[in-house]
Structure 1
């Protein structure tokens, strides 16, 4: 039975003209940062073999960093390389939703010990409902565990979009509330898979953690994110 309608969902209707105008303004004035340069697969480190897959949207792709070494992939591989021989692959693209990522991963080969995902922002901006998001995330986890053989999965939480510097009010509030709903759904999905862990990435209020576009992480934020993911992977053993 559906729950009560949230305040932001009720107010979204009278606010629609303003929200639409703000959304258009954000898109027009956005500083479009490119995906970073550098390899998207490789082998690094010493120790037991660890096959690592990173998948998702622009944040997984490292937008906000100049090179992949400064992005999530490079910083995570560097952290894990202290303990493992990491064979890694990055499958991420700006604008991708959960559904896009499922389609992409259906076309890759190989098996992986660990997968790290970063998804949700584009599901929010495309008005994906919590139920739809949970269904698609469940499909994604089944693909990772059953088809790609992944034994450990770190699901990065849906970002707190109300904190994005590039978003004006009330657009930031509306998108932030929806992001919170999707993240709650993601936590529920993670709890239903023994292989999965949900990472609630809560960064401090530090302007240095945001990229110049006010929408993506900076290299400093990617470093914090990579450290937390690496700790979860080591704890999972």
Structure 2
């Protein structure tokens, strides 16, 4: 890469993107970009954000496109807050169109599935079966939209479900992924994308 700027990554999302409950260097975008020799990622993500919150935030943030890669992982807070499910499709579509516009190639946009937090200790008194069912519905939508737009899709949900048998995949807060789980996500992304 001599004489050329290092590749860049724009990470759009919520707590699963900024790595709530883990240090900065253990966030999955940070782990991944470090391994790939990219610049540190630019984050537009905050714990608790819904699709609407992210849409509002991108109108205020400063961007420097084109990015080499853009990732989008959003929707769990729509489910958690019990928002009208019909809002997700148009808002996610708008976010994906924005993500595509930030790079030069739709194949350099990566959508990640929403993790299944029903397996965490946090969710055990909150109807885990309902959570799992609703997360599945959200993921059917984001996968379908990703396919329609020709972007990459990485299904990390099965990795999140491994926490049923491996508590070390969950951070100390009992809800969010640990650095170990984020590492597994990064490996899945690398296998999906084949940089």
TM-score (norm 1): 0.71
In the alignment, structure 1 residue 103 sits paired with structure 2 residue 66: no
Unaligned runs of 5+ in 2: none
Point out 4+ residue stretches in structure 1 off by more than 4 angstroms.
Answer: 45-48
Greater alpha carbon shift after TM alignment, 108-117 vs 166-175 = 166-175
User: Equivalent residue for 2:45?
Assistant: 92
Offset of 1:58 from its aligned partner?
0.9
Query: 2:137 is matched with which residue?
Result: 181
Q: Pick the aligned partner of 2:26 from 70, 73, 83.
A: 70
CA-based RMSD: 2.1
Alignment pair present for 1:115 and 2:70: yes
SS at match of 1:50: coil
Partner residue of 1:143 out of 76, 95, 98: 98
Distance change (3 Å), C-alpha of 1:62 and 1:170? closer
Contact 1:115-1:150 at 8 Å conserved across structures: no
| Deviation of 1:164 (Å) | 2.2
Residues 1:150 and 1:87: Cα distance change in structure 2 (over 3 Å): farther
Equivalences, count: 185
Matches of residues 123-162 of structure 1 in structure 2 within 5 Å? 123-146=78-101, 148-149=102-103, 151=105, 152-162=108-118
1:222 to 175, 182, 190: 182
Cα shift readout 1:131-169 (whole Å, capped 9, x = no counterpart): 3211111000111223x2353111110112322221125
Equivalent residue number for residue 58 of structure 1: 15
Bigger fraction of residues in helix = 2
Q: Where does the alignment leave 5 or more consecutive residues of structure 1 unmatched?
A: 1-44
Distance 1:221 1:134 in 2: 27
Q: Between Structure 1 and Structure 2, whose CA radius of gyration is higher? A: 1
Measure, in 2, the Cα distance between the counterparts of 1:223 and 1:125: 25
2: distance between equivalents of 1:52 and 1:96?
20
CA shift at 1:231, angstroms?
A: 3.3
Aligned twin of 1:38: none
Counterpart CA distance in 2 for 1:221 and 1:233 is 18
Query: Equivalents in 2 of 1:176, 1:69: separation in Å?
Result: 29
